[in-house]
């Protein structure tokens, strides 16, 4: 495999995934590199279905192997919400990360702490031959009521790794890429690349 399309326009995801795949001997390209402007309707019922949908769409459009992910934050007190709708939890695609975090905290304020949570990430690799490979993993922690840290994106500033006493946003990229949900999922699918 000479080139691999990282099928996301999310700059934070691109940075994390690119760093995790730096041992591959292929050129990593982005939708921007290929001038692809694709909106994928994420209507799957699972993270894996959504990741596969994105990977297939980008693979078909580019005729390159495409790796996509779908990620969600599941909060136990909210019955697993926001889950599949983590990016759209406020009801708007245009909400900022800060607005999404504040909306989540407003939903949790009447529940007793700790607010146990987990991040789930599914990755899917679509090949032009029609073959698919996928992997899913998670990391656990809790939601805290105040934002801490300046790294990362999304819900990172309020997601605390209890065993570390630090939020995801307080970790360097290297630290995050050793323990995060996305790191576990991408590293889980990595052996597939060695056999292509």
CA-only gyration radius of the chain, Å:
17
pLDDT interval class at 165 (50, 70, 90): very high
pLDDT value of position 93: 77
The owner of tokens 């999404």 is 100
pLDDT of residue 91: 82
CA distances from 94 to 24, 61, 132 (A): 34, 25, 31
What is the CATH classification number for the domain harbouring 149?
3.90.950.10
Cα(111)–Cα(60) distance, integer angstroms: 45
Q: Tell me which residue of 122, 168, 123, 121 sits closest to 141, measured CA to CA.
A: 168
Q: What share of the chain is helix, strand, coil (3-state, %, to 5)?
A: 35, 25, 40
Averaged confidence pLDDT in the chain: 95
Q: Which candidate, 188, 194, 160, 157, places its Cα nearest to that of 48? A: 188
pTM of the model: 0.93
Q: Which domain holds residue 139?
A: 3-194
Q: How many domains, in total, are found in the chain?
A: 1
Q: Kindly report, residue by residue over 108-155, the tens digit of the pLDDT.
A: 999 999 999 999 999 999 999 999 999 999 999 999 999 999 998 999
| Active-site entry in 32, 33, 69, 70 | 70
- To the query of whether residue 70 is one of the catalytic residues in this protein, the response is yes
């Amino acid at each position: 495999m000479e080139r691999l399309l990282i099928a996301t326009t999310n700059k934070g995801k691109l940075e994390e995934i690119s760093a995790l795949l730096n041992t591959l001997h292929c050129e990593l390209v982005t939708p921007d590199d290929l001038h692809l402007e694709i909106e994928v309707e994420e209507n799957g019922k699972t993270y894996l279905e959504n990741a596969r949908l994105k990977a297939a769409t980008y693979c078909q459009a580019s005729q390159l192997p495409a790796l996509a992910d779908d990620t969600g934050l599941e909060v136990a007190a909210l019955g697993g919400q926001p889950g599949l709708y983590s990016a759209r939890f406020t009801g708007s695609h245009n909400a900022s990360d800060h607005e999404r975090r504040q909306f989540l905290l407003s939903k949790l304020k009447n529940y007793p702490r700790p607010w146990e949570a987990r991040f789930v990430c599914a990755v899917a690799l679509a090949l032009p031959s029609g073959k698919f490979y996928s992997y899913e993993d998670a990391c656990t922690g809790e939601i805290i009521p105040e934002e801490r840290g300046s790294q990362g994106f999304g819900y990172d500033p309020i997601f605390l790794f209890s065993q570390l006493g630090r939020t995801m946003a307080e970790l360097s990229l290297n630290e995050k890429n050793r323990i995060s949900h996305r790191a576990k999922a991408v590293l889980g699918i990595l052996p597939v690349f060695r056999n292509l």
